[in-house]
Amino acid sequence: MPHVPPPPSGIVLEYPPCEICGTDAPVPVASRTDLLLGGPMVYTMNRCPGCGVLYQHPRPTAASLAALYPADASYPPYRRATTGEPFLRRFGRHHSLTKRCRLVLRHRAGGRLLDGGCATGDFLAALRAYPGWSLCGLEFSAAAVRYAAASTGVPVIRGQISAAAFATGSFDVVTLWDVLEHVADPRSVLAEMARLLRPGGLLVINQPNTASLDRRIFGHLWVGYELPRHLYLFPPALLRRLLGEYGFREVEQRCLYGSHSVLADNLTYVVEAALGRNQVSRLLGRVFRSLPVRVLTAPYIALLDRLGLGGNLATVFVRTA
């Protein structure tokens, strides 16, 4: 086992084997501190030689990890309604939400949908504009649940995604937008998704793309590792094979959204690693996200996404059994 510095006060580490195949022989692929929140603790992402999944080992216990998720808008998934945001950020969020809705609508015109890990409910609010849907959200953060329920008018329940309090076969569609990488028990989550979906139902999973060009270029600074909050990352072939064990068949896979944001975050991390967090690195971070840079990099981003090398990967599965 590689040497790991002792955790700071209040963070307790655990050393579980790979939850996918049970192998207990982690091979380190990236080590770094928390680039989002800072702090001295070094976390490590590993590859399992048994199945190929990438997983954090050791990792904070569930109680310790909860403290590493800020409840306010400083954590991007918990950002509130876009009305008070700068135009470019507001436009980007709206565009990505429209893409999510269209992906679902290509496969289902309506039905009962559960958004697992719905955060502040922006996808639910976007899909509510389309007729024919009965919507529900599930989220662990109490603050996010309160905000999502109040802002969307959609029922949002607080709970764990691996133990949802719904009857078997309750839904036609379940979406997991940037959720699966955060759970310590992905097999339990997938089994629960199979239980909740009716035969012929859809499961939509968006996660960091382990096959992305950014991962190869930026190495341990790749934003997709998101240590310590990302616990499991699935290569596309492994996710396809794993879902097959739970009665799912892949019907579509694409880089749907977020590739420019991933690139901008990666470049910002490179600058911060070289210069530290200061006015210069903050200024460059804003430049990377600016409209001129978005326009200049648009052909590059479009090519990456078309080749399946973009920052995130969305996959649609149908429950066949």
What per-residue confidence (pLDDT) applies to 2? 36
Instruction: Answer yes or no: is pLDDT of 80 > 60.
Output: no
The whole model's pTM is what? 0.91
Sign of CA pseudo-dihedral 51, 225, 136, 166: positive
DSSP string computed for 235-272: -HHHHHHHHHHTTEEEEEEE--S-HHHHHHHHHHHHHH
Which tokens go with 276? 């530290």
Bigger pLDDT: 86 or 197?
197
**Calpha distance 298→306 (Å, rounded):** 12
Contact 115, 135 (CB under 8 A): yes
Is residue 196 predicted with pLDDT exceeding 80?
Answer: yes
Name residue 14's beta-bridge partners: 59
Q: How confident is the model at residue 85 (pLDDT cuts 50, 70, 90)?
A: low
pLDDT band at 9 (very low <50, low <70, confident <90, very high): low
Fold that domain 76-218+233-319 belongs to in CATH: Rossmann fold (3.40.50)
Listed residue (70, 88, 87, 68) closest to 79, CA to CA = 70
Residue spans per domain, the chain: 76-218+233-319
pLDDT at position 94 is 86
Query: Identity (one letter) of the amino acid at 307?
Result: L
The pLDDT of residue 5 is 44
pLDDT of residue 77: 62
Give the position of tokens 């992305």.
Answer: 212
For 207-221, write each residue's pLDDT tens digit: 999 999 999 999 999
| Cα 228 to Cα 64, 159, 223, 236, 301, distances in angstroms | 10, 21, 11, 22, 27
Tell me which residue of 257, 265, 254 sits closest to 293, measured CA to CA. Answer: 265
Neighbour count for residue 247 (Cβ, 10 Å): 16
Confidence of residue 152 (pLDDT cuts 50, 70, 90): confident
DSSP 182: G
Give the residues across from 205 on adjacent strands: 176, 315
- DSSP code of residue 62: H
pLDDT (average), residues 49-64? 95
Note the pLDDT tens digit of each residue in 111-128. 999 999 998 899 999 999
Does residue 313 register a pLDDT over 60? yes
